Structure 1
Amino acid sequence: MEDQNKVVVFQVAQGEYAISIDYVISIEKEDGIREVPSLPNYIVGIKKVRNELIPIIDLEQVLYNRSIQERDQNKLIVLKTEKLAYAVLVSDAKEILAVAEENIKQAGLAAYQKTSYFTGVINLDNRLIMMMEPAVLINSLDGIKEIKEYMNNLT
């Protein structure tokens, strides 16, 4: 049997993206977010998830430089990296997909420093889904060191 990678597929604007299920803690509704003043524009606020305060990142702001529109199907995908748990606010969390290794191609965009969090492209019959690496994504954001310190001081 060929190697399978399980990923959570989600939508941001018109694009489809995926993150390995190994990083995903949960998928939550977009509610209970507390705004915090003076944070970078990509941070919507903080939320308590499973007794832990986590920052909420507007992924549309990060990828497309515009704020996500408020809609009922918006979701929070809660992620755990080695240094920080955080959530990304997305337009929709669509499915969990088992992808054969042969269907994951190198992105070529990883060489570009600002998009180094894209690690590959899932190439299916009529879909191209960009794979993202949560630890690289969070570390690529301006001001994240201060956010990590802030979150550590809250706990």
Structure 2
Amino acid sequence: MNSNELQLLSVTLTEDIYGIDITKVQEIRALGKYRKLPNMPKYCVGVIDFRNSMVPVMDLREMFGYQHDKVSAQTVIVVMLVEHHTEQMLLGIVVDSVSDVIAVQQKDLRKSPNIGAKVNTSFIRGMFKHDDNIVVVLALDAILEADALTDIRALVKNEQISV
């Protein structure tokens, strides 16, 4: 891998393919037991115990507006190390499946199109064509900026919850 190449874990939400920077991925685990938290938005699934740390879990399917009535054997939580301002934090994301690692040259990464002021594209780092698919590369550090995560970050940081 050279410095101009980005290695991405490909994940799916329904039929759409997204890319996640592989260097941020800590573990891929089956969607198992998690602790729900009260008064959180639907996309804040809850927390899991990951190596003795409480890790918040976000359902990307819900966050991005996908229908997701069923959970399959391929539905997983991807645990990642993301940055929030100057600190690093573990975050789990629920996806329908993971596939493989895709290499893309930085020069092939395109900006997301201007969709309008009401559409939040802060989670999109860029996009590129792979085979016959458009892969959207996620900037998951931006998820931690969501207002709804302020309380869950505080709960996890203070470890006031038990799984």
Normalising by structure 2, report the TM-score: 0.84
- 1-side partners of 2:69 and 2:143: how far apart? 18
Residue 96 of structure 2 is aligned to residue 95 of structure 1: no
- 1-side partners of 2:121 and 2:19: how far apart? 14
C-alpha distance 85-99 of structure 1, shift in aligned 2 (>3 A): same
C-alpha distance 2-142 of structure 1, shift in aligned 2 (>3 A): closer
- Cα contact 1:47–1:55 (8 A) shared by 2: yes
Q: CA deviation at 1:49?
A: 1.1
SS at match of 1:64: coil
* Number of residue equivalences: 154
Where does structure 1 lack aligned partners over 5 or more consecutive residues? none
CA RMSD in angstroms comes to: 2.2
C-alpha distance 2-138 of structure 1, shift in aligned 2 (>3 A): closer
- 2-side partners of 1:127 and 1:38: how far apart? 37
- Cα contact 1:105–1:123 (8 A) shared by 2: no
In the TM superposition, 1:14-33 aligns within 5 A as: 14-33=15-34
- Which structure dedicates a bigger proportion of its chain to helix? 1
Task: Describe the superposition over 1:25-84 as per-residue Cα deviations: whole angstroms up to 9, x where unpaired.
Answer: 111111121222222211112101122110111101100165562111101111111232
C-alpha distance 73-109 of structure 1, shift in aligned 2 (>3 A): farther
Normalising by structure 1, report the TM-score: 0.88
Where does structure 2 lack aligned partners over 5 or more consecutive residues? none
